Amino acid sequence: MAPDTWLRLATGRIGWAEAVTEGRVQMSGVRADLSAYLPLELS
């Protein structure tokens, strides 16, 4: 994925499903879904 897509996912500006649907993320495999980990929670 492009760096700007990663930043948007990490900050919650775009959702995982939306990014996949729009073709911003290309993935394969059972462990490729990162929706449980995004957006990142910084402490």
Give the model's pLDDT for residue 42: 81
Give the model's pLDDT for residue 35: 94
Whether 11 contacts 31, CB under 8 Å: no
Between CA 3 and CA 12 the distance in angstroms is 14
Give the model's pLDDT for residue 36: 94
Per-residue pLDDT tens digits for 1-43? 999 999 999 999 999 999 999 999 999 998 999 999 999 998 7
**Rounded to two decimals, what is the model's pTM?**
0.85
Give the model's pLDDT for residue 30: 86
What is the total count of domains within the chain?
Answer: 1
Residue 21 lies in domain: 1-43
